[in-house]
Amino acid sequence: MEDRETPSPKNTAKGPGKSGSDERQSAPRETSIKTRPVQLLIAPRKVGDVAPMAADVLLNALAAYPDVRIVKHIRPSAFGALSTGIGTADDVVVAETSPERAAAIQNSAGNAIVVERNVRLRHLGMAIPGNPNGDIHETVIPTGIGLPGTAAKSVAVTFKVTDAGGQGIAACEVFCYSGGFPATALTGADGAATVNLPQSTIHSIDFVYVKPRADFWEKWIIRPVLDPDSFNVLTLQPLSSFAPAGFPGNPFFGWGEKTMNLDQQQLTGAGARIGIIDSGCDNTHPALTHVQSGVDYTNIDDAGNADTTTWVNDEISHGTHCAGVICGSGIGGIRGFAPAADVHALKLFPGGRFDSLVSAIKYAIDHQFDVVNCSLGTPESSEVVQSWMERARQAGVAVVVAAGNSSGPVQFPATAPGVLAVSAFGRQGAYPDDTYHAQTVPVGVSGTIGVNGIFAPKFTCHGPEIDVCGPGVAIISSVPGGGYAAWDGTSMAAPHITGLVALLAAHHPEFSKKNAPRNAARVDRLFQTIVGSATGVGLDPTYAGSGVPDTVTAVSGGITVNLNSVGINVDELTKLIQTVVMTTVNPVRQRNATLM
């Protein structure tokens, strides 16, 4: 294993009996820089009517390579019959080897074996300027700007982030942008943070962005005048200071929940079972103490078992934020969609890869979840992951996936068939003007400005895969430590839809029946009902799908109709409107809806 130790050249060591004058500087250890090994997902593939290769045969073949290490073997689900009709077998082997060996295995695999990279996933929350992946915690942001081979003179600029009373605010991320290159620092207990900037850019900074950890609105300042010889003070306002947000409330319903009419009903989701595949959940938060189950796929023992206790440690806050929207209890804070549901936190961030996602999906199948939330994605697709998404569907598990924050095409796994792909929308006036939330409003892009202040934010992915849109700008929800934060991202949009699916599973007359079949047809009908409840908000379908789902319409059991499937003319439609509640399904991604 590589030696990662990096002792300082200034370290000294005293030998026995040596005086201070005899101290000798120890030589720093030297280690050659090597290329990290590559992880592969390897699975048998069904070809025609021929049964997939047995897992033992595959493992024995890999064992013949001395430079291949088996990291994990994901064995068949308890629902073994679900493999019928799916292209890959249940078994998935995670192997680690050199890039050269990985290429050789891929080139020699043939059609009977799937070999693909075990790609690292990204969560899709906290979309920030200059970062198309919306990944503030897992992207290395340079602290200075310069070109290779240059030694640009730098200047230290100190910021002080305070509240209205002048008290310093700790743990705020301060970003300075110039020409698209960011520099950053984190405030200490006194609210101070020092950013090193190239001297040539001190008077040409495009903007400064401050992201607080909790309880305050962020700050966005265009073309700031910075003084390197004094504290540059940035004053943040508490979330409660902006009256239109209605925070804190008791209970608190966010603007997005109100847009979906969650506050117009009293259903709790009792009886539904939800999985949140994310970064864990801090269940010491007053609104989330009822979340009592989970596993941590970032903490695996020698036998390959995920820890069942450390999922409560949410280092990046993302999962806790999603959980508030999905199931917040409303006790002194956020009221989520399904506070009485049985919620499991399946932790795979930070560092989660495709194999962790497969393990989480398998857990959801084995525990017969109604719905799982996947606020995650990657530009790279996976046949193995896609096959497990289909297994979940066949087992009656609905998978809701965030579309992505790269402003481009929908990311995987939201592109997989059989999942519900969710883009984000925002509402003007739901946030202070001096925040980055206000900067997400698009300008000059056709189909992105809707009715009543609704817009498709700059960051949201779009395309024909989008089924519906969810609230995803300035979403106030729970974060670790008992606080609240306003975040942007399709990660924030997907939990609104996941929560609504849980309400359907628990209370809709079609889905709440005991002993009802758990199969693909059930998932398809759940999604058809969500899509059928949606109202168009003036956005192009590639940005919003069928629109914004409505809680009251969805759970009421009202009749939904797919106009394309029943083939009626205008006169017949006029008569039909007089007797049924009329809604339309996504014109881009049809799901053969029928009368309920």
Active-site annotation holds for 73: no
* Average pLDDT value over all residues in the chain: 84
- Here the CATH number for the domain that contains residue 426 is 3.40.50.200
Output the six-digit token pair for 462: 């779009």
CB 377 within 8 A of CB 354: no
- Domain co-membership, 475 together with 534: yes
Instruction: Convert the pLDDT of each residue in 517-526 to its tens digit.
Output: 899 999 999 9
Q: Is 318 a catalytic residue?
A: yes
How big is the chain by its Cα radius of gyration, in Å?
26
Cα distances (Å, whole numbers) of residue 171 to 84, 114, 188, 193, 228: 51, 44, 6, 9, 21
In a domain, 439, yes or no: yes
* Spatial separation of the C-alpha atoms in residues 585 and 541, rounded to whole Å: 11
Domain count of the fold of the chain: 3
Using a pLDDT cut of 90, give the percent of the chain over it: 66
Same domain assignment for residues 394 and 429: yes
Q: Is 592 domain-assigned?
A: no
Q: Per DSSP, which regions of 450-591 are E strands?
A: 454-455, 468-471, 475-479, 483-487
**Residue 278 designated active-site:** yes
CA torsion, points 524, 525, 528, 532, in degrees to nearest 10?
-170
Q: Same domain for 233 and 257?
A: no
User: What is the strand order of the sheet 173-178 is part of?
Assistant: 181-186, 173-178, 207-211, 219-222
Point out the domain boundary residue: 519, 543, 567: 543
230 and 295 housed in the same domain: no
Same domain, 222 and 256: no
The pTM for the full model equals 0.84
Catalytic one among 491, 507, 508, 546? Answer: 491
Q: Is residue 149 part of a domain?
A: no
Q: Report which of 503, 126, 530 is spatially closest to residue 319, judged by C-alpha positions.
A: 126
CA distance 232 to 356: 43
Catalytic residue among 318, 321, 496, 508: 318
348, 351, 354, 355: CA torsion to nearest 10: -70
Per the domain annotation, does 111 fall within a domain? yes
Q: How far apart are CA 314 and CA 312, in angstroms?
A: 6
85 and 158 co-located in one domain: no
Higher-pLDDT residue of 89, 560 = 89
Cα(208)–Cα(197) distance, rounded to whole angstroms? 12
pLDDT number for residue 149? 44
Residue 84: CATH number of its domain? 3.30.70
Same-domain check for residues 467 and 398: yes
Range of the domain at 355: 252-543
For residue 248, cis peptide bond before it (omega within 30 degrees of 0): yes
- 34-48, 289-303, 365-379, 515-529 — which is least confidently predicted? 34-48
Helix or strand holding residue 10 (H, E): none
277 vs 365: CA distance, rounded Å: 13
Same domain, 233 and 288: no
- d(Cα 493, Cα 276) in Å, to the nearest integer? 14
475 within domain boundaries? yes
Q: Of 522, 543, 564, which residue constitutes the final position of a domain? A: 543
Question: Are 273 and 227 found together in one domain?
Answer: no
Residue 557 maps to a domain = no
Task: Kindly indicate the confidence band of residue 557, based on its pLDDT and cuts at 50, 70 and 90.
Answer: low
Q: What is the DSSP letter of 27?
A: P
Residue 195: which of 226, 167, 169, 225 has the closest Cα?
226
Backbone angles phi, psi at 575, to 5 degrees: -70, -40
pLDDT category at 126 given cuts 50, 70, 90 is: low
Distance of CA 244 to the CA centre of its chain: 26
Whether residue 140 is contained in a domain is answered as no
User: Does 429 lie in the same domain as 292?
Assistant: yes
Q: Which two tokens stand for residue 189?
A: 């207990």
Q: What gap in Å lies between CA 126 and CA 560, rounded to an integer?
A: 35
Are residues 282 and 229 part of one domain?
Answer: no
